[in-house]
Amino acid sequence: MIPFDWTSALLGIGAGTAMSVLFFAGLAVGMRFALRSTNPVGFLALSAAVRIFALIGVGWIVAEQAGPWAALGYAVAFFASRLVATTVARIGAVPKGAL
């Protein structure tokens, strides 16, 4: 049986959660600026490139420093945060009188 390293997994979950919060906060800020800019596609492309580079870069560092269980925790935290962020965005997009 393969031993599970809880310490590394929790480190990955913590780092993944923190980076996910920054990723989705950056997405929200980027969308607000893009909607007011004259070149929204270029701004969103640059914003996405920076956010993706940061997310993958930190994930790579976590995986290199703490191992595969930390990388798994990082990925799980990102997808869980993504589920929460999309759910919150979907709830916020419903008009108040629609329900």
User: Could you please report the per-residue DSSP string of 16-66?
Assistant: HHHHHHHHHHHHHHHHHHHHHSS-HHHHHHHHHHHHHHHHHHHHHHHHHHH
Q: What's CA 32's distance to the chain center, in Å?
A: 18
Structural domain contains residue 1: no
Q: What is the pTM of this model?
A: 0.84
Structural domain contains residue 67: yes
Domains: count for the chain: 1
The amino acid at residue 27 is L
pLDDT in tens, 2-26: 888 899 999 999 999 999 999 999 9
Structural domain contains residue 63: yes
For the record, the structure tokens of 97 come out as: 């009188």
- Report the SS3 class of residue 74: helix
pLDDT in tens, 67-83: 999 999 999 999 999 99
Structural domain contains residue 43: yes
Return d(Cα 75, Cα 55) in angstroms, integer. 10
Structural domain contains residue 42: yes
